[in-house]
């Protein structure tokens, strides 16, 4: 009897072992959540004081990033370039999404990279500005005709108000501007020589001190940074046309949806407290459309740009 019972036990154990040897499916881990791309919005600027510039720009960068969250933007950064050439390369490589500058450097970047101007920036609360040719009242100059055979101080070769506007003005009015090799170098009687001062305050000092017969600065600098008693001793020889104070550029190849969202966000940024705070730090009061339309505005600025490429 016990042999029969033992047989059943052995059989049962064998069946259990057999069942245990069958391959059991391994538990599958939960499907990993798809990684969210860290899409960074990058604003660029040119400055020799990067820390200060980043402090002024980061708030508006963060505001834009928050507004563009639905398009996958997770954060914003500010990239500072030391010069126009570097910024042009950053835009060409797609490493900078947004850039703000006056028309001439903005057009240089646009021409080189295909970056697109979309809006006007009211920097320091100014929508547009122009350039003034000025001289000491006792210098014997009453108009640009009197400046022939003499020198005028421009700011620098990538300045809108201190290069593109005055140089294109001279060319369009049939003068012969030539770059002088140095301050005080002789100028032909039928030409107007220009030298670079590298800064508006230096231009003003050169004119006031008599180191150069005439200079060029923008109208805002002339009115705000030259004391009234000094302006009384100066004479304005000519004024150029006005252009936007600054423009907003978006990188070439930006997705239309992202470009449109950036545009709409900037147009409305002054309508809430957070946006106003960001604008204040960015030294800006608002962004708006080009009054005459972007195509007309750019067409005229393109003409001025082309004039100074081979004066």
pLDDT along the chain (311 residues), means of 10: 39 42 44 58 97 98 98 98 98 98 97 97 98 98 98 98 98 98 97 98 98 98 97 99 98 97 98 98 98 92 93 58
Question: Residues 11-24, buried b or exposed e (16+ Cβ, 10 A)?
Answer: eeeeeeeeeeeeee
Residues 70 and 225: their CA atoms lie apart, in Å, by: 45
Q: For residue 128, give the H/E element and its range.
A: strand 128-129
* CB 251, CB 118: distance < 8 Å: no
For residue 311, the model assigns a pLDDT of 58
For residue 26, the model assigns a pLDDT of 47
* SS3 sequence of 24-71: CCCCCCCCCCCCCCCEEEEEEEECCCHHHHHHHHHHHHHHHHHHCHHH
Whole-model pTM?
0.86
Tell me which residue of 206, 229, 187 sits closest to 134, measured CA to CA: 206
For residue 37, the model assigns a pLDDT of 59
* Degrees, nearest 5: CA angle 229-162-205: 35
The phi, psi pair for 235, rounded to 5°, reads -130, 140
Domains and CATH numbers, the chain: 39-125+246-307 (3.40.190.10), 131-240 (3.40.190.10)
Question: Which residue(s) pair with 215 in the sheet?
Answer: 134, 153
For residue 38, the model assigns a pLDDT of 80
For residue 130, the model assigns a pLDDT of 99
């Amino acid at each position: 009897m016990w042999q029969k019972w033992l047989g059943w036990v052995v059989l049962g154990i064998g069946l259990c072992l057999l069942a245990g040897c069958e391959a059991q499916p391994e538990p599958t881990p939960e499907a990993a959540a798809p990684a969210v791309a860290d899409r960074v919005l990058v604003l660029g600027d040119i400055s020799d004081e990067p820390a200060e510039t980043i402090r002024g720009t980061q708030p508006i960068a963060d505001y834009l990033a928050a507004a563009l969250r639905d398009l996958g933007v997770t954060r914003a950064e500010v990239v500072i370039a030391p010069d126009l050439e570097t910024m042009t390369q950053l835009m060409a490589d797609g490493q900078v999404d947004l850039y703000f500058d006056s028309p001439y450097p903005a057009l240089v970047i646009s021409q080189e990279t295909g970056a697109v101007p979309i809006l006007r920036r009211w920097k320091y609360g100014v929508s547009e500005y122009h350039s003034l040719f000025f001289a000491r009242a006792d210098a014997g100059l009453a108009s640009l005709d009197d400046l022939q055979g003499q020198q005028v101080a421009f700011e620098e070769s990538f300045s809108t108000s201190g290069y593109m506007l005055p140089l294109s003005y001279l060319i369009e009015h049939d003068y012969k501007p030539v770059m002088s090799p140095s301050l005080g170098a002789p100028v032909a009687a039928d030409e107007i020589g220009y030298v670079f001062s590298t800064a508006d305050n230096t231009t003003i000092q050169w004119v006031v001190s008599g180191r150069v017969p005439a200079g060029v600065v923008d109208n805002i600098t002339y009115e705000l940074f030259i004391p009234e008693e000094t302006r009384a001793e100066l004479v304005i020889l000519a004024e150029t046309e006005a252009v936007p104070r600054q423009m907003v550029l978006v990188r070439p190849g930006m997705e239309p949806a992202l470009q449109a969202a950036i545009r709409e966000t900037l147009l409305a940024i002054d309508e809430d407290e957070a946006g106003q705070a960001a604008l204040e730090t960015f030294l800006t009061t608002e962004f708006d459309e080009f009054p005459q339309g972007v195509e007309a505005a750019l067409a005229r600025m393109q003409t001025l740009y082309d004039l100074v490429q081979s004066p």
